[in-house]
Amino acid sequence: MKEIILVKYGEIILKGLNRPVFENILLKNIREALKSLGEIEVTRAQAAIFIDPSESVDIDDVIERLKKVIGVLSITRAGVCEKNIDAIKKAALEYCGEDILEEKTFKVEAKRADKKFPLKSPEICREVGGYLFHNLDGAQVDVNNPSNVVMVEIRDFGAYVYCKKIAGQGGLPIGTGGRAMLLLSGGIDSPVAGYMIAKRGVELEAINFFSYPYTSERAKEKVISLAKILSGYVPKIKLHIVPFTEIQLAIRDNCPEDHLTLIMRRFMMKISERVARANGAEALITGESLGQVASQTMQALHVTNSVVDMPVFRPLIGMDKEEIVRISRKIGAFETSILPYEDCCTVFTPKHPVTKPKVEKIIASESVLEIEELIQKAIDGVETIVIEP
């Protein structure tokens, strides 16, 4: 039996007159993700995407690529048959019979997109369900809590049967939500923050602050590895690595110890905003979670926000660490994030950082620094690496 892949999307359906724009971008992203695998036909019709690999392409490889395409809600291997009820019954038995026998209970659901088909959805379910019941010894029908659901879809140009769905990433296709700059450290939180904003259709660039020799080349390679993992979901990320040692030493030598982290964060935000604007990004993304550390209290976040004019997205703001770790594991970043290589945020950590800072006091503390000169020197030394999956 001929086999294809059915891809479904969710939120895009709600986009009204703009829906074709979102659908076309998703099609483009899918074709881009699959192009290196070989000859694959990708078409769209009736709120679904049909993927037909040539015989030389491994269908499992196609599915693995699709699982990382943001905007894809579900992926299904489906058997294709003629559009008549006898062919559909036989196809359901051939394509889903073994799965039903493994799970024991089943039900049939039908979607009749082609309204010219002579049987309505409940009639299709009865016909196919009865046929499967009588031809599978030991299989039982359970319409309330089945172990297996056999799906029949009657579309304008064919009939399809399948019984298992694979979850996709969901969200909106990359390229529909603008571009933002992710402050990417070597920790657990920031890659998760980037992934979550990417699911809103946002293209990512990334910026990292590197304090050699206080942070090692291994720490830099760790950040590059995290950007590589993200590029599996957001193809082609530009990673901007900022030399940060001189700024940190200047802060350490001239500013009150309990203000060190916040002044450092303010420099990071200023530099990130300028690099973002130079690269067409319209917002910043951070992995901050309210109250997780001293620099992430409500007052501290206000102090760091006050130095930039562009929006700052903090998708983890209300999440606890367990929730963040769960997503980190899901996207494959956790094992890299916990490698024991320090980042610049841990090099000059004060023993007793201020937790309820006042903006005016922080401004007074940093006013002794040559702020513009330090920022410009750091920006002049930026190293940019293009990261691709």
Residue 387 token pair:
């990261």
DSSP codes, 238-291: EEEEEE-HHHHHHHHHHS-GGGHHHHHHHHHHHHHHHHHHHTT---EE----TT
Residues with Cβ within 8 Å of residue 119, at least 6 apart in sequence: 85, 112, 127
Residue 181 token pair:
């700059």
- Is the preceding peptide bond at 353 cis, omega within 30 degrees of 0? no
Residue 91 token pair:
């196809």
d(Cα 43, Cα 26) in Å, to the nearest integer?
Answer: 11
CB 213 within 8 A of CB 342: no
pLDDT number for residue 360 = 96
Residue 330 token pair:
């899901």
Per-residue pLDDT of the chain (389 residues; tens, 9 = 90+): 899 999 999 999 999 999 999 999 999 999 999 999 999 999 998 889 999 999 999 999 999 999 999 999 999 999 999 999 999 999 999 999 999 998 889 999 999 999 999 999 999 999 999 999 999 998 999 999 999 999 999 998 899 999 989 999 999 999 999 999 999 998 999 999 999 999 999 999 999 999 988 888 999 999 999 999 999 999 899 999 999 999 999 999 999 999 999 999 999 999 999 999 999 999 999 999 998 887 889 999 999 999 999 999 999 999 999 999 999 999 999 999 999 877 655 666 777 888 899 999 999 999 999 999 999 999 999 999 999 88
The H or E element that residue 3 is part of is strand 3-8
pLDDT number for residue 77 = 95
Q: Kindly state the DSSP code that residue 354 receives in the 8-state scheme.
A: -
Burial state string for 163-202 with b = 16 or more CB within 10 A and e = fewer than 16: beeeebbebbbbbbbebbbbbbbbbbbbbbbbbbbbbbbb
Q: Alpha carbon of 96 to those of 2, 91, 121, 228: distances in Å?
A: 14, 8, 19, 38
pLDDT number for residue 348 = 67
Q: Kindly state the DSSP code that residue 172 receives in the 8-state scheme.
A: B
d(Cα 215, Cα 260) in Å, to the nearest integer?
Answer: 17
d(Cα 123, Cα 259) in Å, to the nearest integer?
Answer: 71
Would you give the distance in Å from CA 85 to the centre of its chain? Answer: 40
What radius of gyration do the chain's Cα atoms show? 26
In the block, tokens 């002049």 appear at: 380
How crowded is residue 370: how many other Cβ atoms within 10 Å of its Cβ? 11
Residues with Cβ within 8 Å of residue 315, at least 6 apart in sequence: 192, 193, 196, 197, 285
CB 173 within 8 A of CB 20: no
Global pTM value: 0.92
Residue 356 token pair:
């309820």
Angle at 173 between CA 170 and CA 331, to 5 degrees: 50
pLDDT number for residue 47 = 87
End-to-end C-alpha distance for the chain, whole angstroms: 33
pLDDT number for residue 293 = 83
pLDDT number for residue 31 = 96
Would you give the distance in Å from CA 61 to the centre of its chain? Answer: 19
Residues with Cβ within 8 Å of residue 353, at least 6 apart in sequence: 258, 260, 261, 262, 294, 295
d(Cα 109, Cα 124) in Å, to the nearest integer?
Answer: 8
Residues with Cβ within 8 Å of residue 79, at least 6 apart in sequence: 1, 2, 3, 91, 94, 95, 160, 161, 162
pLDDT number for residue 341 = 74
pLDDT number for residue 343 = 67
CB 308 within 8 A of CB 270: yes
